[in-house]
Structure 1
């Protein structure tokens, strides 16, 4: 379908520093951007530098807006997203509460509303977990996929709100096998 492309795959990691070092030193990925969604939840984007997707050698991004623009325009593709959540006294959320390492696939589409309509018409067993504009249920499959189980936020509703707002514009879908697909608009629209 014209305008659709996979942008990133996401993993939940236990030790962010170790994971960044491994992907950098072993696979040659570079850190593009680190997003601190909250004091305890970080998202790091990594990728390979190549001149066909990254113009003029610019590969790292100083702001979320710069990275988002590169992702939405298709200049930043084939990225790896590392999700890391630290609880007080813990090295990472996944150590205690989750064994799920694969988080989601990120898909960019021209229009999220039209993608939702296509899924409504041609579901093939896929399930919409969250429509664009709705807040996610962090205690369900989306919370598990992002490494953000409900218990993480029971004592910190402000953090839960920050993470929920970050996902507001996304469509979250389970494919027929239960894998999470995060669908975002090419233009940042719903």
Structure 2
């Protein structure tokens, strides 16, 4: 399979123009059109991706076990986690909302982390996997990342509504901060991963910088 890199061409990250690096420069070069720094591949792509993935995986546990919302009212106070929220909506007759929160807050982040780990592993150990299929998986991961903050927005909306009505006081708990960190770290992991490495791994040589 012939790629632009094998022909000595690099893609500019700014204007996307294919450019040829200067003779003897194998790490970085200047785009002749916009002047941006171009690299054959994202520098330290796999190392950065794995670092963000490991950090996100570590924070995934407290994000689901620690309370994401602390409620105080004249009737008492409560500390709710994501899991307890799912159970509450399921038992109170709102299974659709319970499934939505479970999917967005628990299932989607877990699938995203697992998919990115699989993609990063496939670069080192391609095993004859079709790069077209891996590319579609990477695009799906990027698309899923756009919905990762849905439950955080719901919590913020509830806080504003309740405080406006002066019925109670709702504050975000440590679980919300951990979950927000998981979302940000997973987005950074996806942004750090260079999908072009999948095509390099499927060929005879692997160009990782």
With the shorter chain as reference, the TM-score category is under 0.3
Larger helix percent: 2
- Find the structure with the greater CA-based Rg: 2
**Highest RCO, 1 vs 2 (Cα 8 Å, sep ≥ 6):** 2
The TM-score normalised by the length of structure 2 is 0.26
Q: Which has the larger strand fraction?
A: 1
